[in-house]
Amino acid sequence: MAVKEKAKRTEKRKRKPKILAVINDACTGCASSPICITECPVDNCMYEVENPDAPAFNRVFVDPLLCIGCKKCITKGPMDTFLEGCPWDAIDMIPLGEYEEEHGALPY
């Protein structure tokens, strides 16, 4: 499966998000139909990448410079059903400060 090429973000954001979506090791790529990508309101924020631990399956990556922290990627549908969002709880919402402590300051 082809992996999308990502362009670098060049324009400045209006404000920093308070939290960011971060994919954890539970991501299976949903058999190349990840609902999180569909639910994300920001174009090209979430996309599939190769999974070195399981080459037959892709996983999802979140561009931290595009994520707005809206939580739509983790939202469950009515009565906590898996109609929307990640069915594997593979997305953690991390405070921006905590993310930057681990990965370095983001160039907003």
**Residue 39, pLDDT score:** 87
In 3-state terms the chain splits into helix, strand, coil percentages (rounded to 5) of 20, 20, 65
**Residue 64, pLDDT score:** 96
- One pLDDT digit (tens) per residue for the chain, 108 residues: 444 444 455 566 678 999 999 999 999 888 888 889 988 999 999 999 998 888 888 999 999 999 999 999 988 655 556 556 688 889 999 999 999 999 999 988
**Residue 38, pLDDT score:** 87
How far apart, in whole angstroms, are the C-alpha atoms of residue 72 and residue 89?
A: 13
Provide the whole-model pTM. Answer: 0.79
